[in-house]
Amino acid sequence: MRPEEYSPLNLAYLGDAVFELMARETLVTGSLDNVRSLFGKSKAYVSAAAQSRFYFNVFERLTPDEQRIAKRGRNCKPSGRAKNSSVAEYRHATGLEALFGYLYLSGNNERLKEIFALCVPSKENSDEKQ
């Protein structure tokens, strides 16, 4: 099955795991903090509110196909709802997660890294801005 043939919720389910793994890898490789501290920091990246902001930050930089996938994820009716976010935030987060699932299944790892870097700048990039 081609990645675009999966349901948006299935793409989002996978994309949630991909995004969280990338966020955790970024935190672990950029810090010597203990696990409790890393867990707390990861919430800034993997919450629906944060992913909703990331959706808006990257949307205009996506290809038309990527925008279509993100919109499909955003527009689907999820079966649940995040505890600490609005419906709109949750839907936009689902759109971002669907995009990450799609790119992962497409094997487009370079593009996945590019988009993730737009969401969560690496320590080197944030140091350069200071």
CA distances from 116 to 16, 57, 79 (A): 12, 11, 26
Contact 105, 3 (CB under 8 A): yes
Catalytic residue among 16, 33, 65, 127: 16
Report the alpha-carbon distance of residue 11 to residue 103 in Å, rounded: 9
Residue 16 catalytic? Answer: yes
Q: Quick one: tokens of 5? A: 């043939």
Q: Active-site residues: which are they?
A: 16
